[in-house]
Structure 1
C-alpha cells in the first residue's frame, strides 16, 4: 500500500500523468501490457496505467463491498496508517476504507489509524466545503495531481467535494455536467463551481467560488484570486488568467 501512485496515459514512466491513485482507493484491473496495468477507478470510472510494482490486489468480494460503501477521508495534511513493515504516510483526502474509529480494513487485514476522519453520516454545508477547500491552500500545482503535495484544478475540486461526500468526475469538462446553472456571477454563492473555457469554447479550468467575488483554484498553486463576469483576475500579474464560461451549484 502506497500514499500516492501516478496513473499515466500510457505504458511508460515518461507517459503523461492523467490522475493519481490516492491511499485507500479501489480499482479494477482492465488490461495489462508488459509491466503495466490498466486500471478503472471504482469511484469515478477514470482509466489509466500504473506500474505493476505499485499494485495492491484485493479480492472480488472486497472490491464489491468497497463500491457499495461510503468511506471517510483523512482530514489532516499528513498522518500515518500503521502497517507491519513500516507506517504508511497518507495525506489529506486519502480514503479510509471501512474505518471504525480505530482502524481501517484492506481485504481482511485491519490497520490502526489514529488520525481525524471526515463524517460520512452528515451532510456537508457550503461553509464546510469552503473550510475543506482552505486546507489545500498553497498546495503546488501538478498536472494530474490529487494530493496536498501536488494537485491540478479539477483534482482540487474533486477532492474537496469528495471529502464533503459528493463524487465529482475527474476532469473539468466532465464536472461541468453536474449541478444547476447560476446565470449571473453576481448570483453566485460561496461553494459554487465556476468553469472557464479556452478560445475554442472547451472547458479547461474550474475553481470554487468564495465570498466577496473571490475564487479559490489551482493555478501554479492553490490560491485565491478575484472573480468577475469576465473571469479570473490575477492582481499580482495585473491581467485575467481565465475566461469565465459558466457557474454551477452542487446540492450536497
Structure 2
C-alpha cells in the first residue's frame, strides 16, 4: 500500500502518473509553484493537523486548488498535504538560499530600512540585483553574508544542526522559529547535499547505512519516533520535548532517559 504522506491522491484527484488510482478520481498533471510566505504549515487535511512546514521559495507541485486550499507535493522530499492557496506564487528559479540560522529581508539595502520578513535557514530566494552588502531578492534586500549560491553546499551536518541550538521544539516544525527532531535532521542533511525524507521512520529506512562501530560525529541514532545527531562519542544533539528545544545531551544519559520514560531502546544506528 502506498504511503499517504508521499502519494499525491485525495478524495477528488490523483496524480496522472500514479498507477491503479480509483477510476472516479480526476487524473491531474501538477502545476509547478513556489511558497511565498516565510513559513507555512503543510496540513494533513484542510483545517487539520500540521504534518510539516515549508519555507519561502520552496518548490511544490499543485494537484488541486479547492475552495482556496491547495493540495500539493513538496519537491524537497515528496511530502503531500494542504496549504492556503494564497501562500503560493508562480514558479521562479532560485539563485540563493539562506545559510544563516535566520535573516531579515529589508525594504532597501539598509539595515535601518523596514524589515519585511524574517526568513529561516534553508529559505530559497531569487536574486534581482546586488549591492556590496545586500542582494535584492523576491522577498526583499537580504544581507550577502546570510546567503549561499543555490548550488553551494555545506559539509558537516552537525555544524548545520548546531545553528539551531536553542530553537524551540515544535511538532512538525521546519524553521528557526520552531523545529522537531526529524525537521532538524532533514535541514542538516539537505544543506550538505544528502537526500532526506521528512519523518523519522522514513529517515531510519532511507538515510545512510547501519553502523556497527562506535558512534562518531555525524551518525544518526533512532528511537521509535525520534532521531538525534551524534556530536561525538559522548554527546548527541537533537530537537526534543524533554528540553523543549534543540539541545546537546550526554549520549548515555539520553539513551537511559528515553528508555525509562517508556519510549524504548535505540532502534538503529546509521552512518551517512
Structure 2 CA distance for aligned equivalents of residues 24 and 78 of structure 1: 15
Say yes or no: does 1:136 pair with 2:164: yes
Say yes or no: does 1:49 pair with 2:73: no
Task: Sort the Cα spacing of 1:3 and 1:242 in 2 relative to 1 into closer, same or farther, 3 A.
Answer: farther
Preserved CA contact (<8 Å) 1:142 1:150 = yes
| Paired residue total | 224
SS at match of 2:229: strand
| Equivalent residue number for residue 9 of structure 1 | 44
Structure 1 CA distance for aligned equivalents of residues 217 and 67 of structure 2: 47
Task: Sort the Cα spacing of 1:26 and 1:232 in 2 relative to 1 into closer, same or farther, 3 A.
Answer: same
More relative contact order, 1 or 2 (CA 8 Å, 6+ apart)? 1
Structure 1 CA distance for aligned equivalents of residues 117 and 170 of structure 2: 22
| Equivalent residue number for residue 18 of structure 2 | none
Q: Per-residue displacement from partner, 1:11-70 (whole Å, max 9, x unpaired)?
A: 11xx11001011121111112332211111121111110122322x214xx4xx56xxxx
Structure 1 CA distance for aligned equivalents of residues 86 and 37 of structure 2: 11
| Equivalent residue number for residue 216 of structure 1 | 237
Once the 2 structures are TM-superposed, how far is the Cα of residue 78 of structure 1 from its aligned partner? 2.9
Say yes or no: does 1:18 pair with 2:51: yes
| Equivalent residue number for residue 200 of structure 1 | none
User: Which structure has the larger Rg over C-alpha atoms?
Assistant: 2
Which of 173, 189, 192 aligns to 1:161? It is: 189
Q: Would you identify which runs of 4 or more consecutive aligned residues in structure 1 move more than 3 Å? A: 82-86, 96-106, 118-125, 237-242
Task: Sort the Cα spacing of 1:242 and 1:91 in 2 relative to 1 into closer, same or farther, 3 A.
Answer: farther
Q: Per-residue displacement from partner, 1:108-160 (whole Å, max 9, x unpaired)?
A: xx8532142246656643xx322221111121111110011111110010011
Structure 1 CA distance for aligned equivalents of residues 41 and 122 of structure 2: 16
Q: Which runs of 5+ in 1 are unaligned?
A: 198-203
Structure 2 CA distance for aligned equivalents of residues 120 and 35 of structure 1: 31
User: TM (normalized to structure 1)?
Assistant: 0.76
Preserved CA contact (<8 Å) 2:104 2:115 = no
| Equivalent residue number for residue 36 of structure 1 | 69
Q: Which runs of 5+ in 2 are unaligned?
A: 1-35, 109-113
Say yes or no: does 1:58 pair with 2:90: yes
Once the 2 structures are TM-superposed, how far is the Cα of residue 8 of structure 1 from its aligned partner? 0.6
